[in-house]
Amino acid sequence: MGVVLPTDDDLVAGLRAGDEETFACLLNGWSGSMLRLARSFVSTAASAEEVVQDTWLAVFQGIERFEGRSSLRTWVYRILVNIARRRGSAEQRTVPWASLEPDHDPTVDPGRFRGPDDQYPGGWLAFPERWPTTETEVLAREVRATVAAAIDSLPARQQVVLTLRDIDGQRAEDVCALLDISMANQRVLLHRARAAVRSRLERYFTTAGGES
């Protein structure tokens, strides 16, 4: 899950001292998920890029004020959310996080389970097929492309939660605080996102991927 960064103390010291390597390292490591997070508040990709840019400017201009009460990453992402929210409302884009009411439809097609009149209602009609391991680099690349496409097609909120949790490896508590959502809502979004990606992978493995 991403590159291992130095400790917060080292990062903060580096930013304060104007160490370019530290800044480049953070820029490379965090900007991707920051773009995705910004994109859920504003209307265009260009606008999201500006939000990320303004966030980084605010970060190194304000790093003297960082007190270490949260992790550096949480602090940076909070600045981003504030900037993105302001910008989103200026663009009159409704902030999706405010009216969060996740749906509770099944994440697996109900047609894959036995009906209520069956001897085993709710049991698998047929077990999911086992997936091959991705031994070759070609196959691994195809799998990554499939996963990336699946993530891109998720609804924005699911995309953000999946990115922060499973790509960045951020803690559930931090993600909830950042997005101002409950643990239960965060979990529903994360679960739906993971289940959707799983189902895309299943389709890939049982059709094209299964042949190689």
Query: According to the binding rule CB under 8 A, does residue 142 interact with other proteins?
Result: no
Q: Minimal CA–CA distance to 206: which of 126, 149, 151, 152?
A: 126
Taking CB under 8 A as the rule, does residue 1 contact other proteins?
Answer: yes
Q: How far is the CB of 49 from other proteins (least distance, A)?
A: 6
- Counting contacts by CB under 8 A, is residue 31 touching other proteins? yes
Helix ranges restricted to H, 68-182: 72-90, 137-152, 156-162, 172-179
Q: Given candidates 61, 99, 119, 207, which one binds other proteins under the rule CB under 8 A?
A: 61
To other proteins, the closest distance from the beta carbon of 186 in angstroms equals 9
Angle at 41 between CA 39 and CA 43, to 5 degrees: 70
Please tell me whether residue 27 binds other proteins under the rule CB under 8 A.
yes
Rounded Cα distance between 141 and 170, Å, is 25
Q: Do 15 and 63 form a contact (C-beta atoms < 8 A)?
A: yes
Interface with other proteins (CB under 8 A), residue from 8, 13, 60, 139: 60
Q: How far is CA 161 from CA 158, 164, 191, 195, 202, in A?
A: 5, 5, 10, 13, 22
CB of 110 to other proteins, least distance (A): 7
* Helix%, strand%, coil% for the chain, nearest 5: 65, 0, 35
Q: Which of 163, 175, 185, 209 binds other proteins (CB under 8 A)?
A: 163
| Candidate ranges 3-11, 32-40, 74-82, 93-101; the one touching other proteins (CB under 8 A) | 32-40
130 binds other proteins (CB under 8 A): yes
Reported residue count of the chain is: 212
Binding residues for other proteins, rule: CB under 8 A, are: 1, 16-18, 20, 23-24, 27-28, 31-33, 35-36, 49, 52-53, 56-57, 60-61, 106-108, 110, 113, 120-124, 127-131, 143-144, 147-148, 151, 162-163, 166-167, 169, 172, 183, 187, 190-191, 194-195, 197-198, 201-202
